[in-house]
Amino acid sequence: MVDVAPGVQLWAEEIPGPTPDAEPLLLVMGANASGLAWPDALLDRLAERHRVIRYDHRDTGRSTYAFDDAPYAVRDLAGDALAVLDAFGIERAHVVGMSMGGTLVQLLLLDHPDRLLTATVLCTAALGAYGDPELPGPDPALLRLWGEFTDDRDLEGELAWRVEHWRLLNGTGTPFDAAGFRALEERVVAHSGRADNPAAHAAAGTEGLDRGAELAGVAVPTLVIEAPEDPVNPPPHSGHLARALGAGRLVRVQGMGHALNPTVVEPVAAAVLAHTREYAPL
C-alpha cells in the first residue's frame, strides 16, 4: 500500500522481471478502472524484459475511496503515479498509459520527464483535444451508458452492466469475449471487496489539462498506439497526438477498440517491447 495523500493509500503490485536489475515499467490504467484491468497475458509478456508495476487508482480496487470527502482533479492522479515509483525505489521507468492513463502520462512527460525512460500511450487523446471541433467525440451509445454509472444495481445487474460497457468499448473490429470480460469483472469485485460502480474519476476536476501546445517540447521517446475501432478516442485522435508530440511516433494495432482483449494483447505487447528495447538506457 502506497501513501499518496493524508488518509489515502493505493494498492500496488510488482511482477518481477527476468533479472533483479530489469528496467522497470509502470502501467497506468484508465478512468474508474482497477489495475487488474491489465490482462495477465500482457503482464507476462512485458515481464519477459521488465520489472512491471501496476496499481489501483484512488477510488478503484483496493485503494482508498475518499472522493466524496476529499475531491481531487484528474491531474492529481499523475502525482500518484510518481508516488508509486517512489514507493518501489524507482528513479526512472518506462511508463505505459491507457485512456485516462495516457492523459496522466502526458502530464508526466511535461512536468517530470526526468522520471521517464520512455512513454507509451494507447486509446487516448492529446491534452486539450476535447476542445477541438475538428476531432470526434465518444460514440453516443457510450455516452448514454455512462449516464448510468451511478445507478443502483445489485451484483448481477452490475456485472451485466460492466460486460455491456466492455462490449461497446471493444468495438466490432475484433471478437468480443463476453465470458472473459465477466470473469475479469468478477475478479475485480473480489479484489475490491465491493461491487458498486467506481465513478469518481468521471466527477474529478479537469482543470489544468488544456496543455496540448506544450507537447511539442517533449523529448522523451513516446509511442502512440492507435486503436482504429476505439469508440472513445477514434481516429484521428492518435495521429493528432503523435504529431503534437516532439518525440512521438505512431503504431496501429489493427481492429483494436478501447479494450485489451486476447486478440490485441500480443501486438500491443510487441509494440511496447520494441519501443522500450530501442530506447533502453546505455
Is 83 domain-assigned? yes
pLDDT band at 264 (very low <50, low <70, confident <90, very high): very high
Task: Give the span between the Cα atoms of 53 and 118, in whole angstroms.
Answer: 15
Which pLDDT score is estimated for 244? 97
Is 193 domain-assigned? no
Is 221 domain-assigned? yes
Is 179 domain-assigned? no
- Does the global pTM surpass 0.85? yes
* Averaged pLDDT, 191-204: 92
Can 258 be counted among the known catalytic residues? yes
CATH number at residue 21: 3.40.50.1820
Which pLDDT score is estimated for 4? 94
What is the torsional sign of CA 97, 36, 157, 32?
Answer: negative
Which pLDDT score is estimated for 77? 97
Task: Give the span between the Cα atoms of 204 and 227, in whole angstroms.
Answer: 25
**What is the DSSP-derived secondary structure letter of residue 83?**
H
Catalytic-role residue among 57, 63, 94, 99 = 99
For the chain, what is the mean pLDDT?
A: 96
Number of structural domains in the chain = 1
Give the model confidence (pLDDT) of 220-244 as tens digits.
Answer: 999 999 999 999 999 999 999 999 9
Q: Which domain holds residue 82?
A: 2-138+198-278
Catalytic-role residue among 76, 177, 230, 240 = 230
Is the pLDDT confidence value at 41 over 90? yes
Is 145 domain-assigned? no
Give the model confidence (pLDDT) of 84-124 as tens digits.
Answer: 999 999 999 999 999 999 999 999 999 999 999 999 999 99
**What is the DSSP-derived secondary structure letter of residue 65?**
-
Is 29 domain-assigned? yes
Q: Are strands 24-28 and 248-252 parallel, antiparallel or unpaired?
A: unpaired
Is 157 domain-assigned? no
Q: Which amino acid does the sequence have at 91?
A: E
Catalytic-role residue among 94, 165, 240, 258 = 258
Share of the chain above pLDDT 90, in %: 94
Task: Give the span between the Cα atoms of 119 and 104, in whole angstroms.
Answer: 11
Is the pLDDT confidence value at 130 over 90? no
CA–chain centroid gap for 171, Å, is 18
Is the pLDDT confidence value at 280 over 90? no
121-125, 159-163, 193-197, 217-221: which has the minimum mean pLDDT?
Answer: 193-197
Is the pLDDT confidence value at 161 over 90? yes
Q: Which amino acid does the sequence have at 2?
A: V
Grid cell in block for residue 246 = 516532439
Is 231 domain-assigned? yes
Give the model confidence (pLDDT) of 206-222 as tens digits.
Answer: 999 999 999 999 999 99
